Structure formats: C-alpha cells, structure tokens
Chains A and B, each alone.
Chain A
C-alpha cells in the first residue's frame, strides 16, 4: 500500500492506494504544526481503517509542511501531484486548478500528466480560503451553508475586488447598511472567482478542466468558476481537497501510465 500525504496550511490530507487502486482518504487539521498533523493523520488512519505506518510500502509527502517531516519519506512537488491526480481522474484533462487555503494555482499539462507551465496567486489574500474563513465568521455562516445562501442572492453588489483589507471593511459597511448575507456572500464569491479566472487565463485553456483544493468544496464557487471560464469544470472525484495527496500517492512507480 502507498500513502500519499498533502500537508497544507489548513488541512493535512492522506490517500491510500493498494495495487494502484484508491482505498481510502481522510484529513485532519494542520493547526500550524506539520509534524503533529502528520501524527494525527496516521492516528486517524489507524482508528478508521486499522492500518499502521509499517503497512505502507511508501510514504510520499507534498505540500507546505513536507519539509518539516522528519520521518524518512519521499517528497514530490505539489504541482506535479495535482497534474498526476488530474490525469488519473480524467485522461482528457489538460488544465487543472487548485484553490487552497493560502494559494491558488493553475497549471497546464500534457497527455502524460507532465506539467508544462503553471501560474500561482499566493500574494493576494482575497483569492484564498483563509480570507473566506474570516468572512464566514464575520457573517456568522458556515462554508457548508454558504453555497445555498449565495444562490438565493437577489442583487448584484460590486465589490472592491482588489484588496482583501478593503474587502473586509466593505463587508462590515454592507452589513451595517442592511445588505443581506446572501447578496454579500454572492458578491464575495464572485470577487474571489474573478481572481481565479484572471489567474487561469494567463495560461492557454485547452481540453478538460479539473479543479481541486478546499475552496472547490463550495459548489457555488464551482458554478461561478464555470460561468467565468465559460467551460464546464470537473471537481476532483475523491473530493477536491484530496487532489495533491492522491497525486503524491500516484507518483510512486513513475506515476500514472
């Protein structure tokens, strides 16, 4: 069995493959401590499936926290992992997006899952999951509810989509002005997706698109993404958060194909 692990800034994800087949996946909170998160992940796997560390022939780690893990392991760059998982999920995929807690990335790949080029947006907080967490808290809603709430928006509010700091204070003003949570959420989502679309269009978009990363759990965001790109988008089948972890696992034996 192979354990692929993606230690992100928000969540630490693990995916288990046996004979190249997907067996199981789970995640734990990272809470700024990669070593402890990795331990928590192993513990969760043991609790839920009874697998121990020794059961894994290989442990492949990617993501922000990879460098902090002292246990001997293989490491794999995140972009490669995303591409590998994308092509495994959809052989016709030539474009992948990963919308994470702190970073959004877009990449183009060839038919063998090799990354040809990629662009990242890691310097703008308004495009990342962390920013949304803050907004959800301010609006007293949860990620799970937010998609439905946003869909019920009845007015288009223009957001100052340029800066997270400005956007946050704008939300406060809008709430004070009596604007509905639905309208505000929809506006925030549109603003965020606008940044992702701008990032994506810096590369040529050909073929099918796969999206991964925690933000893609929000179906309203995915809908808006499709609208913005003018193309259908497939959410990574194991759950978007698991895309890089799966890719890490797939990378053993030279990856897919």
Chain B
C-alpha cells in the first residue's frame, strides 16, 4: 500500500485496517488459549506483514488487552468474531479506495443507518463513536491522548468520550477532515455540541436529522421529511446521486441483518440464555455498517446459528455448575471494558439480557419495505426512530423505563446493573425511576455505578470488578 494511502496516512484508519486482519488471522490460528496465541504469534505476524508494516503490527499486538484476546479465543466468540473481522475488512478496503479517489469525506452519526449513503456511492467514514468504542475496547492505549487534548482545550471531563476523542483525532491528523457531517439531534447535548464543534472547526456543513420528541404518526411523517431534505442537501453537497436500485440492494442486506438480530433477541429470552454478551458490541458494529455488504449478515447468521443450536441442544456456555444470574444491563455496554460480559459470565454466571445499546424492538421496527423510494425511506426512518441509543433518548423517559421493565418481566431477569456513562446525563435522570420500578414491580435490585464509556482511567477495570463482585456475591445470591 502506498504511504499516502488513506489507510496508512490516518492512524485511526490504519489501526482499524490492521485490526481487521489481526483479529481474523489470530483467531484463525488454531490457538485456544492466550499462551497458545502468544506461541502462534510468529506465524500470525508472518501472515500479517504481507500487507502491513512489521513494527506497526508488533506494536499493535502488544497493545491488545490480554483479557480481550483470551475472551475472543473462547469458542462462544471465536467464529463470529472472525466473520465480523472479514465484514469490517471489506468495508475498510472500500473506504480506503473511496478516500484515495478523493471522494467526499462523510461522517454519519450511527442512529440513522448508512444504506442511503451507500446508495449514493458514498462510503461514510467509520463513525466517531464506533472508533471510540473499538479502540478503547481492544487496545490499552485507548483514546486517552485525544481525550486529554480535548480536556486541555476546555472540554469538560464529562463530555462524552464517544465523540470527544475522535473529533480531536481529526485535528491531529489521525482521521481525515470531513466534507460533510450528519447528525441526529438525539440523544444528547454532549454529542450535538461535539458535532457542531467539529463542523465549525473543519469548516464543513452539518446536516441535522431532527429527532422528533414524540413517537406518533406525526413524528414519523416529520422525520421522513427530515430524511428527504437531508438527502437532497447531501446529494447537492457531495455531488453524488442516490440510486434507488442501489438503495434497494443495501436495504435488502440490512433486512437480512435485522432478521438475525431479531432472532437473537428472541433467543435471549430463553433459559438459560444462549447468547454470549460480549458479542453485543460487535452486533452494534454491524448496525454501524448496516447494509454494507453480504458479509455483514453473514456474521449475524453465524451468530444466530450458534446461539440457536446451543439453545436447541439445551446447552449453556456458562462454566459447569454456575447458576445463571440473568442480568439486565439497564444502561449499556462499557466500551472500554470489552471483555466485561465474558468476565461476568465466567465468574458469576451472569448472562447479558438487553441494554439500550443493543435493543431494537422488533415488533415496532419490522423490516424496510423495498417497494419504492418512499417505502424505503419510511422504513429506514421508522427503524431509526426505534434504534439503539435513539428510541430511549429522544423522548420521555417513560419509554426507556417501560421498555426495560417489560423486558425484565418477559426475560425473567434476576438483577440489573446500571453502569452509567458519566457523560450520559439524560440517562442519569431516569436511573432512579427505572431502578425503583424494577425493585417495586419485580423485586429486582440494581447496582448503580459510574464509568466513562471510552476512558478506562475514571473507573479502572479492577474497581469495576470489585464493585460487581460485591454485588453478585451479595444481592444476587
């Protein structure tokens, strides 16, 4: 690859690119434990340096959280993760080629899925939030440097690290400068102002998809209109035109993704839960790449197949003798501690029910009707309004509370953990309402604790383990 290629020039993209191959090759090496992986490393590296620089690859390998490597080698995670890496790699190569052709650089907030952009021939850059999650989850250096840069400039410590670090990454040349940024007006002020700052500092247009405050027909109509206007502007700004057949093609792919997502959600209700929680983060990754290529539903199909078979065989991935503690993550996954769900499963038999970064209400969202442009835009809008981190944030807290109390009942939840991102203010306002409802209506206790979703320094992993150990050895018995 030429040195001025986007996948070399921009460190975040370079790291993403190498990550895909690192995951795929390392997990395919036959190693089943961490020592075996380390023993296999020379062969793995030899494979990787066919495409990538040796020093870079070595350095990256040394940065991987050992706990993450160990967890991913576990059979319950192995095959899907390889498939995810393959799907992500195709996207990364598409992105690299797209950027190297000098095409418009577009950043798209993930709660409106990217099929429309693919249909325009645009490959949006991997969203800030996805970078923040992936980099802080896999690698020990995380985004601490960029977070600190932002804080030096005056961004408060509690401005959301999902966005705060990556927008600084643009300024220090680790990500390409945007030509266009698209944002939903939900979920929060933190992300909204981060995006405004990014658009201002990089002097590019910011298109807003206004998230309506209600969830009725009027709201849907309004939102669809927003989508149309956004597309009109987007096409003008990028000079790329939306092709309806291409849109249909990508929507059909994402419909297949949804089919498996919904299937997995249904299976999570079973006792014992057959769906390993660590994969939830990768599932989110597929939403970010919604409709990109057939490789994305292939990952979900693998996931679904394994989970379904496990359920049909009446098996569990929990260690033998571990009593299942069905756990509702009433906030969401902790990006910087990617392996946390696995640690909970192994240590306490705590299985991952749902969280607001995982849950897509199947019966309300359904599938995109691919008949024509109107039906597709409406379908995508409807999905977006009920999307993870959108449905629960854009309107009254009643929605989040009701969703989760209902899930707690239907999924036979034992306990709840509200590990809240300190930046997520609107979530904190309903923490008490939700945990009260769970206790009063279902006798479910909640462990309330704070973390910074993409910065492990605020609540170190050792402390998180302490807090969770206390909880699971106390109320969860």
Contact = CB atoms under 8 A, between A and B. Distances in A.
A9 interface: no
B445 A77 contact: no
B450 interface: yes
A117 B470 contact: no
B28 interface: no
Contacts of B40: none
Contact of B470 (A77, A116, A123): A77
A79 B474 contact: yes
B415 to A, nearest CB: 10
A77 B469 contact: yes
Interface string B453-477: 0000001000000010110011100
Nearest to A119: B448
B347 interface: no
Interface residues of B, number: 16
Interface string B418-445: 0000000000000010010001000101
Contact of A123 (B439, B446, B450, B473): B450
Contact of A77 (B439, B446, B473): B473
A80 B474 CA distance: 6
A118 B474 contact: yes
Contacts of A117: 435, 439, 445-446, 475
Contacts of A96: none
Interface residues of A, number: 13
A202 B470 contact: no
Contacts of A116: 439, 443, 445, 475
Contact of B475 (A78, A115, A120, A202): A115
* Among B432, B435, B470: residue with most chain A CB under 10 A: B470
Contact of A115 (B435, B439, B450, B474): B474
Contacts of B467: 120
* Among A77, A78, A80, A117: residue with most chain B CB under 10 A: A117
A118 B450 CA distance: 15
Contacts of B443: 116
A204 B435 CA distance: 11
Interface in A23-79: 77-79
A84 B129 CA distance: 44
A145 to B, nearest CB: 34
B467 to A, nearest CB: 8
A79 B470 CA distance: 7
B305 to A, nearest CB: 39
Interface in A57-110: 77-80
A34 B449 CA distance: 25
B432 A118 contact: no
B445 to A, nearest CB: 4
Interface in A202-217: 202, 204
Contacts of A78: 470
B61 to A, nearest CB: 30
- List 3 A-B pairs, minimum CB-CB distance, nearest first: A117-B445, A79-B474, A77-B473
Given A115-B474, A120-B448, 8 more contacts: A77-B470, A79-B474, A115-B475, A116-B439, A117-B439, A123-B450, A202-B435, A204-B439
